[in-house]
Every structure is written in C-alpha cells, then in structure tokens.
Amino acid sequence: MKRLLKYFKKIEPDKTKNPFLFSMWESFFTFLFVPDDETPGTGTHIKDKMDLKRLMSFVVLGLIPAYIFGIYNIGHQHFLALGQYTGFWEGWNLKFAHGLIKLVPILVVTMVVGLGWEFYFSSKKGKGIEEGFLVSGALIPLLMPPDIPLWILVIAVSFAVVLGKEVFGGTGMNIWNVALLARVFIFFAYPLSISGDNVWVSGFDNIVAGIHPDYGWWHTGFFNTIFDWFNLDKFDSHMAIVDGFSGATPLAIAKDGGWDAVTQAFSTHDLLWGTIPGSIGETSKPLLILGGLFILLTGIADWRITIGAVLGIIFSGFLFNLWGATPLMTIPWYYQFYLGGALLAIIFMATDPVTAASTFKGKWIYGFLIGVIGMLIRVINPAYPEGWMLAILFMNSFAPLIDHYIISNHIKKRLKSE
Amino acid sequence: MLGANKKPAYVGSNKIILLKKGLNINIKGKAENTFIEEAIIENFAIQPGNFRGVVPIPKVVVNPGDKILAGDLLFYDKKRPDLKFVSPVSGTVKAINRGARRSIKEIVITKDEKIKYKKFNSPNPDNISREDLVDFMLESGVWPLIKQRPFDLVPDKEIVPQNIFISTFDSSPLAPDYNFIINGKENVFQKGLEVLTKLTSGKVFLGLDANNKYPPADAFTKAQNVEKVYFKGPHPSGNTGIQIHHLAPIRGANKVWTVGIQEVITIGNLFLNNIYDASRIIAIVGEDIETPGYINTYLGADITESVRVCLKDSKCRVISGNVLTGETKEYGEFLNAFDYMISVIPTGNYFEPFGWFIPKKSRPTFSKTFLSKWINPGKTYSVDTNMHGQERAFVATGIYKEVLPMDIYPVHLMKAILAGDIEKMEGLGINEVAEEDVALCEFICPSKQEFQAILRDGHRMMIEQE
C-alpha cells in the first residue's frame, strides 16, 4: 500500500496546467486513500468517520441485490420469449451471460458519460469531485429497459447531469432526482424506446412469434466458447419466439384486463419474486426490500419518506378499491405493490436527501403524497403506463414549498412566544 | 447504567428534564479524580480576545516589569471604561504581546512563588443597591467572568438579566468532573450564588446531572435560594444553551447570563474573603497524556508548562477546552479564560487506504453504517485530528436534529447564515444557539461542514446589526 501511495503521489498531475486530469486523479486517489487532511484549529478537532463517500457507497451496496437479479432476469425474459429454459435455474449460465451483455454496456456508458461531466465541472470549479453521481449512475441502468440504445442513454445522462444538476451548482444543490431526470428525458424524447410492449424483452428486433434472437460476437463467439469448455448449454440463434408471447408488462395487462388477466399471464409468485418483464431493477420485490432494509436500518435513507409513501399507496389503493370504476382500480390494494416500479422508487429514489423535503414533518407529507400521486398517475391517467417517475419529480418540485411552510410555522411559533 | 427514561431516586421531588437526542463520545484519556504531579507553571496571561464584545485594542495600564498583586488592574475597555480586567496572579508583568492589526493578544504575568492578593473592601450584597453591587463587581474585575446570552458577550451593566443559568456538569468528551472540582469549596460557591441572585430579576437556575448512579455533590444539591433542575441525557445535556432552551428560552430582546462554576467560586471568594482569587482546577486529559488528572492552577495558565511533565508524544495537538469546541494552542500560548480542561490528542496527518469503507481502527461515530455502533455502542475509542473525508456540500438532512436536543432546524439555520438572511436567522433561533451546541452537528456531518465557524459568523452579523 505504501508503494501504491508513493506511485500515486508521483503521477499527480499539475492542478493549474491540467485541471481535468487533476480532478480525475484526485477522485480516484481519494477513493483509494482517505487524505491526510487535519481538522482546522477552531471547530471540532475530531470528526466522525462517516463521510459522503461512505454514505453514497452504502446506497450502491443496497442496490446490489437488484443488480444481480436484474442481470438474471434480462436473460430469463429473453429465454421465456423463446420458450426455452423456462425453469428458474435452467440455462442459468446463458441467462447471466445474456444479462451481462446487455447490462454492462449500459452501466459503463452511464458511468463514463456521467463521471466525465462531473470531472469536467469539478475541474472548472477547482473543487474536489462530489460523490453524488455514484448513486445516480448506479440507479440509471436499473431504470432502463434492457435494449435501450446507448446513444440515447448518452444524451439522457448528459441532460440529467448538466442541466439537471450542474447548472444548479452540483451535488447537494439540485432540485430534481438526477436518475429520474435521465429516465424522464428518454420517456418524453424517445418514448418508443422506453414504453410499449416491445422494449422489455431484450435480444429481438421485434416481439413477434417466429423471430430469431439477435446474437452478436459476445454471444456466439465469446460466451459460447467458454461454455463449450465447461460443457454448458450454449446460445443458439436458430431458436425463435414462441406463439402467444406478448412481452407486455403485468401493469400493461392489468390496465385492460384487471387482476384476473394478470394472474392468467403470471403467477403471483412470479410477480413477487420478479421473473416478469419490466425495467432492469424494478421487478424483484423481496430483493428491493432487502436492499431497502439495509439503507433504512443503517440510517442512510430516511424511513419517514418510505413509510409515508407506503401509507400513501395503501390509502389510495384502498380508495380505488371502493370506487372500482376501471380494471386497474379493482386490483386489491396490496397487489399494487406487486406491479411496476413502486418499491424501487419509494425506497431508493424518493429518499434522495437532496431532492426530498428536509424537515421531519415535511418528509412524512412528501412521502405520503408521492404514494398518492404515483397511484393516481398509474391508475387514472391512461397516457402513462406507470406513475412513480413523474410523482417523484413532481414532489421534488414541491419539496421546497413543503419545507417553506413548515419552517415558516416554526418561525412564527418562535416569534409568537416572545 | 440506568435506563434512558428512568428517573434516578436521588432526584426526588426535583424537576427533571429527560433529553433523548445527542451523542456521548467516549474517548480514551479520561481524568482520574486525583491531582497529578504538580507542574511548575510560571506564566499566566489574560487574553482580551477571550472576552467577546471587548474592543480589540483595550487600554493597558501596566508596563513590562511592573510588580502587581492578584486583583490589580491590567487593562480596561476603551468604549466602556468601567469594564476592568484584573490580574489572576501576583508577580511581574512579563510582556504585552500583540496579535493581528496591533490588537492586544495577551498580557503575560510571571507569578510570584506565593500569591499576594489585593485587599478589596467587599460590601454585603444584602445591604446595597443593585447598582452599587454592579459597580463593585466591575471595579474588582469579576464582571467579565459572567457571560451574557445571546452570543456570550461580556454583560452590559445597564441590562438586568431575565435569569441566570449555571450548569453544574459538563457532558462533553473527557470533561472534568465538577463534583471533584467543587470539593471543599461549598461555602464560597454558595456565597457566589447568593451574590448572583441579587443581580437578576428572575431566578438563578442550577442544572444538575442525573446521568450518574450517585447524586451530584452536596454543594450543588443543597444549594440555597436557587432553582435546581436535573438533566438526564447524552451530550450536549450539560451545555447551558440546551438547559436554557428547556427552562426559559431566550425570546425577543431578552438577555440571560451564564456563569461557570469556578467563576461563581471566584465571585464567592471576593465577597467572603475580600480577594480576587482566580485559582482554577484544570483537567489534563487525552490519549497523549501519561496519567490524565487534575492540576491546581490559576486562570490563563501557560499551556505548554501545564502539560509538559505528562506529555507522551510530541506529535500531538494541545487544545484549550474539549475536543469538540476547544482551540488549538501552540508552544508558549495560554489556556483560554473560561476553559477547565486541556485536551491532548494525536495528530492525524496520514493517508488511510480505503479508510472510508474499511476503517483501520474503529472510531467514534454517530452513523449506524459502522458495525461497532451495533455491537458495542458504549465502546471507548482512540481519536485523532484526521478529517476522515473532505468537505462537501450539504447532502444529509435529518441526522443533525438527532444530536441537537432543541427545537431548532440546524441546517436551515446554517443556510440562512450562509445566505446572510438576518431576519430568517433570528426566526430560526440563532439567539438561542451557542457554538458548543452545534458542535455535535459538526462532528457527525458527512459533508464535513464547519457548523461552529458558520454560526460564529452568524453571531458576528447579529452583533453588528444591533
């Protein structure tokens, strides 16, 4: 480690001559080594071991179960379409390989583009890079359909980081959740690549019976060679989509047919564990809850927001049950959690401390309203397939207002007691 | 340990306030209740900068070489000429050192072997008017030992404080045990309290510690003519600011006073024995101290001479005060006037590989992301002066309120100060908060923001505004 430290010190770029390289070097260096800075002489002389790097990385750790399952499920959905290896463990090597082939480029592009912008702005500001993009960059791939064109991703991530965050002053100053901004950008600019029945199952040009999978060198060249050595199942481009496979998400099915149509296509077991089509990270509820418990119990995310949102969903789900005018309204309120991206949204995105309300009371209100508005958009609005992205961005905009009223009340109370 | 909400039996029918929020930072090097081998301290200094609200260049009336008694005038404030500062010891004026912009940094006095006191003609506080009492206290130099809140200023003589608050325990890391300090000084302490009761239109509140198995010293529990209130809860329960907030919060233009227990003793001595006795019992604590304990000395002791005999390692930071709120002192500097402790901790100028993820040593923390917080919450830790990270923008929101047992929004207050919004600062309660109250927020901040420096700036703006 000492040698590594010496080496890193030796290659340190000049800050004034090469600010971009320096901020890149600095961000890697401070990840490897906590710097030797000491506390100033006035103020606390000792500091908590906790810092922003740890805070952000713990959110990323909480997302890892969703990542692992996401990788598997990309492959699983692909083979369900082909009618092959439909059992959970059947063809596991193919499913993971296909998932990796789809997910790694998305993750790499997100990180390279996002961090590139971060390095650029931190070098312009002459300040150390803020760790905020670690979480945004880890969330963005989970919000995407597996076949998202990478060039669209480049534009979306750039939009989210530059116009969504850096113009406001960087991490800690942004109004809207960066990961959701990337998604909403694609949703409105390139709706066909992120909505409809065709995008959730990857590896095909079109979801029509008889279509062959679209395999490239990574499938047939790289992974098939490796699988050959170990005598495992291999990718076969002669397979074709089976009759009757639609690729629609349970939510899309529920829109027309209600809960009965959903359970005809998927078992509740599938819906719960997440072997269903959807955005990469949203499907497996137990694993999202596991990651959620991790960040809630360690105090990284504020439980008030998540619990508030859960109550909001239950409340509005219950009211819709009583109303019961459309198929979606008749879905029992507890099954609403089985559909779409509710859990991913309320655990990992609503709780973003920068864009959420900052007072305890405000967090309850903010969380609850996310639950209610998300459900309203999901159930009532025919134009949008799912509500959480818009609900959270909407409440992001109102979080400062909620805080403003709570703080004004607090101030009034103090002035009154004079 | 007692349960968090359980009232100890010795509280009896007294009022008790239970505080849940806060954090006890247990670190190595707590003082034993004994006096350590006496260090020979020759030099003492009064630092005008320790007294908030005093002009930076006061009028000094002594010259180097002058012989003076304990209680002789050293300097007075040019704007308020009756605000007088006297010598804590008898001896020879050694030097008058200047700091930035020719301000008076300190007036150094070399102590006689045996202290000779100036004799005062102390009146009986019961028989004179408040005005005469105040004039006598100004004349004898005990007036500046009192602090006026908000902003911890030297009190205005025209303003009658609404209440006076005295905390009889310190909950900060490695804090001295006030029960040990008060031992044998019960009479003078009581006398000091009686003087103070003459000065306020309200009450004198005594904040007592209900965190221990055993009751506080008799000097505190049996004090007369004062309002005794117990406090139970983690640090900062011993801060006067917290106690004021729960007893009679500062509102509008109201002013209150706070006095430390050893300052009360000095006032008591003046009226009981007619001398200005600035003797202080100081705790010398921290991991870099051989045998942490107490020393008998006087106000403004030379800090190098105080710790020299017991220093373990020269690569350390010497702090006047506690590790959360104190001030770093260099070689040849002096203990600040209101501090009862010197903390010495190792410096932290090292690189730590992956320290943010897998710490090499466990450190005190508020974050539940560390296993030690779950497994061994009462653990005693080593500390050093490393930042454990770099400064970032504010990101976290809820956690700060968890270590501040007040109805205050700390982050919103800080942001109002950073924006220079005076009206909002006032509304958010800047008058109620002292720097020491937000020290824990600064300690736990993952963005490493300097709460105390920001608040100091806010206080400065508020004072200028008046």
For residue A302, give the nearest of A357, A369, A371 by alpha carbon.
Answer: A357
Kindly tell me the burial class for residue B318, based on how many C-beta atoms sit within 10 Å of its own C-beta (0-12, 13-18, 19 or more). buried
Query: What pLDDT, in 10s, does the model give residues B91-123?
Result: 999 999 999 889 999 999 999 989 999 999 999
User: Residues A380, A362: contact at Cβ < 8 Å?
Assistant: no
Q: How do strand B43-46 and strand B104-111 relate by DSSP bridges?
A: antiparallel
Alpha carbons within 13 angstroms on the beta-carbon side of residue B456 total 11
Res A119: pLDDT: 92
Residues B466, B132, B192, CA angle at the centre, nearest 5°? 85
Residue with more model confidence, A172 or B414: B414
Give the three-class secondary structure for A34.
strand
Give the minimum alpha-carbon distance from A254 to chain B in angstroms, rounded to a whole number: 38
* SS3 assignment for chain B: CCCCCCCCHHHCCCEEEECCCCCCCCECCCCCCCECCCCCCCEEEECHHHCECCCCCCEECCCCCCEECECCEEEECCCCCCCEEECCCCEEEEEEEECHHHCEEEEEEEECCCCCECCCCCCCCCCCCHHHHHHHHHHHCCHHHCEEECCCECCCCCCCCCCEEEECCCCCCCCCCHHHHHCCCHHHHHHHHHHHHCCCCCCEEEEEECCCCCCCCHHHHCCCCCEEEEEECCCCCCCHHHHHHHHCCCCCCCCEEECCHHHHHHHHHHHHHCCCCCEEEEEEECCCECCCEEEEEECCEEHHHHHHHHECCCCEEEEEECCCCCEEECCCCECCCCCCEEEEEECCCCCEECCCCCCCCCCCCCCCCCHHHHHCCCCCECCCCECCCCCCCCCCCCHHHHHCCCCCCHHHHHHHHHCCCHHHHHHCCCCCCCHHHHHHHHHHCCCCCCHHHHHHHHHHHHHHHC
Closest-CA distance, B221 to chain A, in angstroms, reads 31
B157: its two tokens: 């003589």
Cβ-based neighbour number of residue B466 at 10 Å: 6
**Is the minimum CB–CB distance between A356 and chain B shorter than 8 Å?**
yes
ipTM, 2 dp: 0.92
Residue A352 contacts B where some CB pair is shorter than 8 Å: no
Residue B1 banded pLDDT, cuts 50, 70, 90: very low
Q: What percent of chain B has pLDDT over 70?
A: 99
pLDDT computed for residue B251 by the predictor: 87
Question: Considering only alpha carbons, which residue of chain B is nearest residue A46?
Answer: B385
Tens of pLDDT along chain A (418 residues) come to 788 889 888 888 888 888 888 888 988 898 899 999 999 888 899 999 999 999 999 999 999 999 999 999 999 999 999 999 999 999 999 999 999 999 999 999 999 999 999 999 998 888 778 888 999 999 999 999 999 999 999 999 999 999 999 999 888 889 999 999 999 999 999 998 888 888 999 999 888 889 999 999 999 999 999 999 999 999 999 999 998 888 888 988 888 888 999 999 899 999 999 999 999 999 999 999 999 999 999 999 999 999 999 999 999 999 999 998 888 899 999 999 998 899 999 999 999 999 999 999 999 999 999 999 999 999 998 778 788 999 999 999 999 999 999 999 999 988 887 6
- CB contacts of A42 in chain B (<8 Å) are 327-328, 452-453
Amino acid occupying residue B73: L
Distance CA A82, CA A208 (A): 11
More confident call, B398 vs A111: A111
For residue A389, what are its two tokens?
């992205």
Query: Whole-angstrom Cα distance, residue B295 to residue B341?
Result: 10
Tell me the one-letter amino acid at B420: G
DSSP letter for A159, please: I
Distance from CA of A177 to the nearest CA of B (A): 13
Per-residue pLDDT at B337: 94
Q: Pairing relation of β-strands B341-346 and B279-285? A: parallel
Using CA atoms, how far apart are residues A278 and A255, in angstroms rounded to an integer? 15
Position B314 scores a pLDDT of 74
CB contacts < 8 Å between A and B, how many?
Answer: 209
Give me the residue label for tokens 């055993």: B214
pLDDT at position B166: 96
Contact (Cβ atoms closer than 8 angstroms) between residue B249 and residue B162: no
- Residue of B252, B365, B368 lying closest to A49 (CB–CB): B365
Distance (Å) from the alpha carbon of A32 to chain B's nearest alpha carbon: 5
Backbone angles phi, psi at A220, to 5 degrees: -80, -30
**Residue A266 neighbours by CB under 8 Å, 6+ apart:** A250, A276
| Mean pLDDT confidence for B408-414 | 95
User: Residue A129 has what pLDDT?
Assistant: 82
Is the pLDDT at B443 greater than 60, yes or no?
yes
pLDDT at B39 over 90: no
pLDDT digits over A337-378, tens only? 998 899 999 999 999 999 999 999 999 999 999 999 999 999
Residue with tokens 């490239």: A216
Check residue B355 and give its pLDDT.
Answer: 87
Residue A46 DSSP symbol? S
Q: Which of A74, A140, A116, A100 is nearest to A284 (CA)?
A: A74
Residue B309 scores a pLDDT above 80? no
pLDDT at B313: 76
Structural contact between residues B410 and B438, judged by C-beta atoms closer than 8 angstroms: yes
Give tens-digit pLDDT for B424-442: 999 999 999 999 999 999 9
Mutate to test the interface with B, among A45, A122, A305 (most CBs of B within 10 A): A45
Residue A388 C-alpha from the chain's centroid: 12
Cross-chain Cβ contact B357/A57 below 8 Å: yes
Extract the tokens encoding B237. Answer: 């329960």
Chosen from B388, B418, B450, B460 to mutate, greatest number of chain A CBs within 10 A: B388
Give me the phi and psi of A145, to 5 degrees please.
-75, 150
Is some CB atom of chain B closer than 8 A to the CB atom of A14?
A: no
Q: Could you tell me the two tokens for A34? A: 């906590």
**What pLDDT is recorded for position B398?**
85
Cis peptide before B150 (omega within 30 of 0): yes
A50: three-class secondary structure by DSSP = coil
- Set of chain B residues whose Cβ sits within 8 Å of the Cβ of A360: 398, 401
Query: pLDDT band for position B2 (50/70/90)?
Result: very low
CA distance B27 to chain A (A): 11
pLDDT of residue A18: 86
From residue B282, how far is each of B269, B294, B335 by CA, in Å?
Answer: 18, 5, 10
Residues of chain A positioned with their CB less than 8 A from the CB of B364: 46, 48-49
The pTM score is: 0.92
Integer Rg of chain B from CA = 22
A6 touches B at CB < 8 Å: no
Amino acid at position A121, single letter: F
Contact: B357, A414; criterion CB under 8 Å: no
pLDDT at A304: 95
Per residue in B228-266, pLDDT (tens digit) is: 999 999 999 999 999 999 999 998 889 999 999 999 999
- Which of B222, B165, B228, B226 lies closest to B197 in space, CA to CA? B226
Q: What are the distances in angstroms from CA B458 to CA A22, B316, B334? A: 35, 31, 27
Strand B204-209 and strand B227-232: the pairing is parallel
Q: List the single residue in A30, A52, A298 with the smallest CB-CB distance to B395.
A: A52
Q: Considering only residues B311 and B191, tell me which one the structure prediction assigns the higher pLDDT.
A: B191
Amino acid at B299: L
Strand order in the sheet with B43-46: B43-46, B104-111, B91-98, B67-68
pLDDT in tens, B268-286: 999 999 999 999 999 999 9
